[in-house]
Amino acid sequence: MNPADLSATLLTVVIRIAADRGTPDLGLTVSDLVLERPRNRDHGDWASNIAMKLAKPLGANPRELATEIAEQVRTIDGIAGVDVAGPGFINITLDAAAAGALAKTIVEQGETYGHNDSLAGQTINLEFVSANPTGPLHIGHTRWAALGDSLARVLKAAGAQLVSEFYINDAGNQMDNFAASILAAAKGEPTPENGYPGAYIAELAKGVLASNPEVLELDHEAAIAVTRERGYEMQLGELKKSLADFNVHFDVWFSERTLHATNADGTSAIDDAVERLRAQGHVADIDDAVWVTTTDFGDDKDRVIKRGNGVYTYFAADAAYYLSKGDRGFAHKIYLLGADHHGYVHRLRALAGAAGDDPAKDIEVLIGQLVSINGARLSKRAGNIIELNDLRNWLGTDALRYSLGRYPADSPLTLDPEVLQKRTNDNPVFYVQYAHARTHSVARNAGESGVDRQVFDASLLTHETESILLGVLAEFPRIVAQAAELREPHRIARFAEELAGSYHRWYDQCRVTPMNDEEVTDVHRTRLWVNDAVGQVLRNGLWMLGVSAPERM
């Protein structure tokens, strides 16, 4: 019996008692009967405070109501005991067979265990990283890449219909400055004003010359056009490769250029966006300029969307991009932005309101704090940044992904490379990966000793460490649902560490492989199921964090 089954059982009992008391419809669902694991295992496997929640609407004494619920729960198969504690807590102990059955369920469900439908029906567009394609990814992008990709995996595991998206800022003056920098390097000239320095520009210049040597003979405007396209192509390719090497993948790469492109009728997506906002009643023409009255939705000032000279502002592209997400079927939009983007929060929410959406419901803007790594050096190629590729080559993808995913996004973070490179329990990623590798080692040794999974008898799982371990395993679906709802993938990492600890303690007390000449029994066979269930859940959790699950270490 897993927590979901127990919650459903408890719900049936509570509804029956409420009806007997003259309140047949409390509007309760399983989510109202969340179970917690008591810190003191002597208090049972699961605890509920539902009696205290319902005492007032039912006009009952909380402890008396808890006692009434407990009496009915005791009669249910799979329940070994029920006690009432304090003002009305209900502590429930499962019998070994009911608790242990979970191990077989996990092995049979495999990589889908932990997945749930808590976000089923939600269509979500998750945008993150969205770096300018004018240089390498740096340490700030690294944190959002890790967190964004992990959040995408968690949201999908919770049943959401989700697309992860990278918005390519490939329009505007920055692209011209980028091209001018590459062209200057190709000609052996100094970096122009507002240009991009760094050895990577020289590398791009070599690539442009190799594929388009004619740029040196073209007039300046034509040479800039050719250099811009070829340099952009190469740099975007490098961004994609850097992210793929970091085990980060996007469903959509959305080009800002498409918003500026002219349609058959001579208008662009940005033109259409302004008119759509106007139709909603939130556009004003003042002093030859076009404004969006975002103060109607809590912004600190109205925003110019088109200047008096007819040139659109960056806000215009933001508006067109936001509307495109809704046009593509995404009711909910999540933006993951860096620490220097606090000013975008109110304007994006106001934009959602101006577009006719609910700013409190249809858009989320998550701001990540800065991350630093002791001893990290500036990139030799980029010159003024700490580059993702350098960090990955130095610390490894797994250590970096796990460490960045282990903390809430809104907390400043400093990582210690000495810890991340240790092969000891002081290193959290090693601790979890070693637990996973140990499950495979145990399974290999068991197979060599003739232990297989032909028998599963959950009633044999009576050791105290087995009860604790099974209780932790049962928590995984709830942790996944919670991580998805709160947008906090770090909860998966902390759960994995708790599971690894419980597994190591179980391993010290309960043998899967017989000792010496001891015969193989059904206890060994059943414990192999538990061992393999732990391996599966650790593997599932590490996958959600974008971290590998090695079979040997």
Coil, helix or strand at residue 255: strand
Write the DSSP assignment of 360-428 as a string of letters: TTSEEEEEPPPEEETT----TTTSSS-BHHHHHHHH-HHHHHHHHHTS-TTS-EEE-HHHHT--STTSH
Please report the pLDDT score of residue 355 as a whole number.
94
Cβ contacts of 389-394, under 8 Å, gap ≥ 24? 389/136, 389/137, 389/242, 389/245, 391/139, 391/142, 392/242, 392/245, 392/246
- Sign of the C-alpha dihedral, residues 218, 220, 222, 226? positive
* Structural tokens at position 500: 């690894």
* Structural tokens at position 368: 């990540």
Which residues are within 8 A (CB) of 336 and not within 5 positions of it... i.e. 6 or more apart? Answer: 126, 127, 128, 129, 144, 147, 148, 151, 366, 368, 409
pTM above 0.75, yes or no: yes
Q: Angle at which helices 490-509 and 464-486 pack, to 10 degrees?
A: 170
Please report the pLDDT score of residue 25 as a whole number.
77
Instruction: Provide the β-strand partners of residue 292.
Output: 283, 303
Alpha carbon distance 242, 240 (integer Å)? 6
Alpha carbon distance 217, 221 (integer Å)? 11
Alpha carbon distance 385, 499 (integer Å)? 37
Which residues are within 8 A (CB) of 503 and not within 5 positions of it... i.e. 6 or more apart? Answer: 435, 438, 439, 469, 534, 538
Alpha carbon distance 148, 164 (integer Å)? 8
Please report the pLDDT score of residue 289 as a whole number.
95
Alpha carbon distance 209, 427 (integer Å)? 46
Please report the pLDDT score of residue 37 as a whole number.
81
Residue ranges and CATH numbers for the domains of the chain are 3-94 (3.30.1360.70), 123-168+250-371 (3.40.50.620), 173-245 (no CATH), 422-544 (1.10.730.10)
Coil, helix or strand at residue 325: helix
pLDDT per residue rounded down to tens, the chain (553 residues): 777 888 888 999 999 998 888 887 778 888 788 788 887 767 788 899 999 999 988 889 999 999 999 999 999 988 889 999 999 999 998 888 888 999 999 999 999 999 999 999 999 999 999 999 999 999 989 999 999 999 999 999 999 999 999 999 999 899 999 999 999 999 999 999 999 998 999 999 999 999 999 999 999 999 999 999 999 999 999 999 999 999 999 999 999 999 999 989 999 999 999 999 999 999 999 989 999 999 999 888 999 999 999 999 999 999 999 999 999 999 999 999 988 787 789 889 999 999 999 999 999 999 988 889 998 887 777 777 899 999 999 999 999 999 999 999 888 899 999 999 999 999 999 999 999 999 999 999 999 999 999 999 999 999 989 999 999 999 999 999 999 999 999 999 999 999 999 999 999 999 999 998 899 999 999 999 999 999 999 999 999 999 999 999 9
* Structural tokens at position 46: 């699961």
Instruction: Provide the β-strand partners of residue 126.
Output: 164, 334
Please report the pLDDT score of residue 32 as a whole number.
81
Please report the pLDDT score of residue 228 as a whole number.
97
